[in-house]
Amino acid sequence: MIQNYFKTNTSELEIVVHDLGGSGQPLLMAHAGSLCGRVWAPIAEHLQNNFRCFAVDLRAHGMSVAQDYISLNWRDIASDLPIVVSDIRKILDLAKDEPILGVGHSLGGTCLLLAELMAPRTFSNAWMFEPILFTSNPIDTLERTQQMVAATKKRKTHFESRDVAAARFLSKPPFDVFTKECMKEFVNYGLKDSQNGVELSCKPDHEAQIYVNANSGIAEETSKVKIPTRVVFGQDDGDRVPALKNALLQTEIDIADYSDLTHFGPQSHPELIANDIKNWFKIN
C-alpha cells in the first residue's frame, strides 16, 4: 500500500490527512461515517488535472485513532477541519486565511457545513453528497439515530484477511455497490491489522456514539451558510430525502438529483461524481 499522508495535531488527537495528488485549487474531501479518507482516491483520479486533492480521516476513522474518552459530537468532529485546512495552507504556502474547496459525503458533508458555520472562510465553495442534516424535530432525530445505531450493532468487525473482508462487503447491501477500486481502498485503509486478521478501524461502539451524538437542527442552520454549496441526492428511501429537500429549499443551496444512485453513490460511480464536482466548481 502506498501511503502519502500527514498528521494534523488538534488539542485532543492526531488527524490523518491523505495527499491524493493533483495540481490546481486545493480541495479537501471528507468521507461518510464508518469509511475512511482513501475511499475518495478513485474519484480524485478524475480530479487531479484540475485540483490538488486531500482526504481526511475523520476522528475515530481510518488512521485517525481516537481513545474512548474523545468526544464524538458532530460539532467536535467538524472542529478538526479548520485545523486541517490551516495545515494544508502551510504545506501549499497559501495565505493563512485563504479558503479552499470542500467535498463531503454523508457525515463528511455535515462536518463541512458545521466547520464553515463555526469558522467562516474555511471553505470558499462546497459540494456534498447526501449530508446528514437532522431537522429540529426531536422525533426525526431520535428515529433516525436509533435506526443507524441498530445497523451498526449488526456489523461484523473482524475478518480473516482484507480479501475476505472485501468479499463479504461486496456480497450484500449497502456496500455491494462499491466498485472494486473503492472497496480496495476501504479494506486497505479503513481496516487495521489485528491479532487474528483485520478489524474495522472505526469501532462499532465509536460509530454508534457518533450517531447518538448527532446534532438536531442542522438542516435549519444551513440557511446561515454563505458560500456556494451544492447538495446532491441519490434515490429516495422514504421520508428522509423529501424532508431534507424541503429544509434546503429555504436556502440558497443548489440541489441536484441522481435518482439511480444509492447513498453510496460516490463509491459506486466515482467518475460520474467527479464530473459533477468538476462542473460545480467550474461554474462557481
As a whole number, mean pLDDT of residues 216-235 equals 86
Integer Cα distance of 45 and 75 in angstroms: 30
**Mean pLDDT across 35-51:** 97
| pLDDT single digits (tens) 249-261 | 778 899 999 999 9
* 107 located within any domain: yes
**Residue 227 domain-assigned?**
yes
pLDDT in tens, 17-32: 999 999 999 999 999 9
pLDDT at 216 over 80: no
The answer as to whether 189 is a domain residue is no
Considering only 99-113, 160-174, 203-217, which range has the smallest mean pLDDT? 203-217
Residue 276 lies in a domain: yes
Is 46 domain-assigned? Answer: yes
> For residue 77, what are the domain limits?
5-134+218-283
For the chain, percent of residues with pLDDT exceeding 90: 73
What backbone phi and psi angles, to 5 degrees, belong to 224? -85, -10
**pLDDT value at 3 more than 70:** no
pTM above 0.75, yes or no: yes
When divided into structural domains, the chain yields a total of 1
Question: Does 144 have pLDDT greater than 80?
Answer: no
Q: pLDDT tens, 171-184?
A: 999 999 999 999 99
The predicted structure's pLDDT at residue 134: 73
Asked whether residue 102 is assigned to any structural domain, the reply reads yes
Which pLDDT does position 211 carry in this prediction?
A: 84
Q: Which CATH number do you get for residue 271?
A: 3.40.50.1820
> Greater confidence, 147 or 122?
122
Q: What angle do CA 248, 173, 1 make, to 5 degrees?
A: 95
What is the model's pLDDT at position 137? 66
